[in-house]
Amino acid sequence: MPSQDPFSPWRAAGDAHDNAAAPSAAQRAPGARVWPVGALCLAIGDALQARFGAVAVEGEISGLSRAASGHLYFALKDAQGQLRCAMFRRAAQLAAFEPAEGDRVIVQGRVSVYGPRGDLQLVVESMRRAGLGSLYEQFLQLKQRLQQEGLFDAARKRPLAALPRGLAIVTSPNAAALHDALSALRRRAPHVPVLLAPALVQGAGAPASLRAALAQLYEGIAQGRLRRADGQPLHIDTILLVRGGGSIEDLWAFNDAELARLIVQSPVPLVAGIGHETDFTIADWCADLRAPTPTAAAELAALPRQQLLQALRHSHDRLTQALDRYGMEQQRRLQWAGHMLARPSALLAQHAAQLQRNAQRLRHSGQQQLGRQALRLQQHGAQWPRALQASLQAQQQRLAQAALRLRMLDPQQALERGYAILSTAQGEIVREPAQLQPGQTITARLAQGSATLQVPPHTPRASPHPQPKPPPAPQQKLPF
């Protein structure tokens, strides 16, 4: 059974058309050139390049694919047609943004024919977003003006809190950027509470909506009236201003001058994560920190929980080791003290030996001193013994006189003569009758012992005008 070729009707018609149209060898002009297919493709490509040169084409990217080599292949299309394009790796790396499906762009390149397929294609050498010219000029002018106002000064930018107590995200509730940021925070720092300040991020009303959301958030932070879901106070340490990627028109809301001035008034550090890595807005320059994407903004705002737990475990280990070292040192000291207390005789023997050594040194020193004194006495001759004898006699005489004075002044001598010393119960010496009260008990110290006396109840008080005392008997003058 003959195989059926699904293309056989087309081939038959084509063969019939070729046979009817193609001239016979006899009809072909003598000397006519026969083109190889590849050579004809090259010739057509050269003719197109000579005719058009470098061209700029505007259209919408369709069927975008990136080869493993880094080359980009896509088609540019509009309502009237489409053109296949190839952008080699070097040119793709120099692009100011990451092309995406559906982007409207203006490319510059050269027209050629891809020989292996005979396709007309445009080899793209550069690419920019469509409509970038006028908007980009406005962006540069605004950037220069705000830079002169000092809104971009690095000196006013603040570091982010290492351990934030809470984060606030300013974006659209329906934006993919919110989902990306929340996913990153749930993965890295699920313990950090997050507050959403909803705002438009695209369109004519977006700048005013963003300003209102920030102003309301600032007021809540300043007044301390932000609350968590459980009613507890919410402390915001960092604000995230995020939006996904898009064209310059889509991100134009973040190029608002009033929004820029409001961003620099943030009471806490503010991170801008707007667009993709190659997208820049005025808000990025005004923020305390710029993140390339919303996900990166969330990652910069909070350290990973695992990293914090690892640091905590490291600190715990260091503290445990320090306590162990301290405990071991105290244990060694306690063991030494216990050893010394258990054998006090050893410590006493050590001190006794030290005292004995000190005594020996003292005796030796005294002997040396006496030897030197004896030598001096021998050197001065006999005058020293006489002078020493005289001095000793004088000292003995003064000592005898002093001993006699002491004996005369000794109260015991007066007591031996029959006198007594009266004192109250409080130990106060009675010197005059006025110190006594009727019935008072006093103590009389005698030469031999003491006696307890009681003042009679009717003892007459001493006269306020005492009689003159008789003159004292003449005392015997002592010989000294």
What's the pLDDT at 468?
60
Residue 383 has pLDDT above 90, yes or no: no
Distance of alpha carbon 298 from alpha carbon 289, whole angstroms: 12
Token digits for 287? Answer: 């923020």
What's the pLDDT at 15?
41
Relative orientation angle of helices 383-409 and 344-380, to the nearest 10 degrees: 120
Same-domain check for residues 59 and 165: no
Q: Does residue 438 belong to any structural domain of this protein?
A: no
Same-domain check for residues 81 and 155: no
Residue 208 and residue 239 in contact, taking contact as beta carbons nearer than 8 Å: no
pTM over 0.75: no
Higher pLDDT, 298 or 389: 298
Q: Does residue 124 belong to any structural domain of this protein?
A: yes
- 378: Cβ contacts below 8 Å, ≥ 6 apart: none
pLDDT tens digits for range 15-27: 433 444 444 444 4
What's the pLDDT at 338?
74
Same-domain check for residues 120 and 87: yes
Residue 135 and residue 160 in contact, taking contact as beta carbons nearer than 8 Å: no
Domain around 230: 151-305
Percent of the chain with pLDDT over 70: 84
Q: What one-character-per-residue DSSP string does 395-434 give?
A: HHHHHHHHHHHHHHH-HHHHHHTT--EEEETTSPBP-SGG
Q: Does residue 433 belong to any structural domain of this protein?
A: no
Query: What average pLDDT does the segment 374-398 reach?
Result: 76
Q: What one-character-per-residue DSSP string does 257-315 give?
A: HHHHHHHTT-SS-EEEEESSTT---HHHHHSSEE-SSHHHHHHHHS--HHHHHHHHHHH
Q: Does residue 394 belong to any structural domain of this protein?
A: no
Q: Does residue 68 belong to any structural domain of this protein?
A: yes
State the chain's mean pLDDT as an integer. 82
Domain total of the chain: 2
Same-domain check for residues 112 and 212: no
Residue 473 has pLDDT above 60, yes or no: no
pLDDT tens digits for range 279-311: 889 999 999 999 999 999 999 998 877 766 676
Same-domain check for residues 91 and 158: no
Same-domain check for residues 164 and 301: yes
Same-domain check for residues 161 and 282: yes
What's the pLDDT at 479?
44
CB count within 10 Å of CB 342 equals 8
Q: Does residue 449 belong to any structural domain of this protein?
A: no
What's the pLDDT at 461?
54
Residue 149 has pLDDT above 90, yes or no: yes
Same-domain check for residues 118 and 161: no
pLDDT tens digits for range 86-129: 999 999 888 877 888 888 888 999 888 887 887 889 999 998 88
pLDDT tens digits for range 224-247: 989 988 889 999 999 999 999 887
Domain boundary among 273, 305, 337: 305
Q: What one-character-per-residue DSSP string does 65-101 give?
A: EE-TTS-EEEEEE-SS-EEEEEE-HHHHHT-SS---T
The candidate with the shortest Cα–Cα distance to 199, out of 274, 121, 104, is: 274
Domain boundary among 258, 284, 305: 305
Same-domain check for residues 297 and 156: yes
What's the pLDDT at 470?
60
Same-domain check for residues 101 and 71: yes
Distance of alpha carbon 275 from alpha carbon 243, whole angstroms: 6
Q: Does residue 406 belong to any structural domain of this protein?
A: no
Q: Does residue 226 belong to any structural domain of this protein?
A: yes
Three-state DSSP class for 316?
A: helix
Same-domain check for residues 299 and 157: yes
Residue 259 has pLDDT above 90, yes or no: yes
Residue 254 has pLDDT above 90, yes or no: yes
Residue 440 has pLDDT above 50, yes or no: yes
Higher pLDDT, 457 or 144: 144
Tell me, what CATH number does 87's domain have? 2.40.50.140
In angstroms and rounded to an integer, the radius of gyration of the C-alpha atoms of the chain is 58
pLDDT tens digits for range 65-89: 999 999 999 999 988 888 999 999 9
Distance of alpha carbon 290 from alpha carbon 154, whole angstroms: 12
Which of the four pLDDT bands, split at 50, 70 and 90, describes residue 258?
Answer: very high
Which of the four pLDDT bands, split at 50, 70 and 90, describes residue 207?
Answer: very high
Same-domain check for residues 199 and 300: yes
pLDDT tens digits for range 167-201: 999 999 998 999 999 999 999 889 899 999 999 99
Tell me, what CATH number does 206's domain have? 3.40.50.261
